[in-house]
Amino acid sequence: MQHKKDVKAQEMRQQKNFGNVMNLIFLLSLITLTSAISYSSPIQRTGSLRAKLLKNGKYPEFLAAQKKLRAATSQPFLDYSDDYYRVKIELGTPPQGFTVSLDTASSFLWVLDVNCKSKNCKGDPSLNNEKDTYNNSDSTTFQCGAGTFVAQFDGQPVTGYLAKETFTLANSLNIRNQDFGSAQTVPDLYLEQPVDGVLGFGLPAMAVNGTKTPLDTLMPLLDLKLFTVWMDKITPKSMAGNAGLITYGALDSVNCDSKINYVPLNVMGYWGFALDGFAIGTFTRQRKEQVISDTASGWIGAPPTVISAIVKATGAKYDWNLELYTVPCSQMTTQPDLIFTINGIDYPVKSVEYILDLGLDNKQCALTFFGMSSSSFGPAWVLGDTFIRSYCHVYDYGNMRIGLAKAHSSV
Task: Give the C-alpha separation, 247 to 38, whole Å.
Answer: 7
Task: Give the C-alpha separation, 61 to 63, whole Å.
Answer: 5
What DSSP character marks residue 266? -
Task: Give the C-alpha separation, 351 to 339, whole Å.
Answer: 11
Task: Give the C-alpha separation, 82 to 51, whole Å.
Answer: 9
Phi-psi region of 43 (alpha: psi -120 to 50; beta: other; left: phi over 0): beta
What per-residue string of b and e applies to 164-184 under the rule 16 or more CB within 10 Å gives b? Answer: bbbbbbbeebebeebbbbbbb
Cα 368 to chain centroid distance, Å, stands at: 17
CB 183, CB 131: distance < 8 Å: no
Task: Give the C-alpha separation, 83 to 61, whole Å.
Answer: 18
If you count DSSP H runs as helices and E runs as strands, how many of each does the chain have, helices first?
Answer: 8, 24
CB 62, CB 52: distance < 8 Å: no
Residue positions annotated with a catalytic role: 103, 294
CB 68, CB 198: distance < 8 Å: no
CB 167, CB 180: distance < 8 Å: yes
Q: Which of 47, 77, 269, 102 is nearest to 156 (CA)?
A: 77
Q: Strand 369-371 relative to strand 300-302: parallel, antiparallel, unpaired?
A: parallel
- The verdict on whether omega for the bond into residue 214 sits within 30 degrees of 0, i.e. cis, is no
Task: Give the C-alpha separation, 385 to 44, whole Å.
Answer: 13
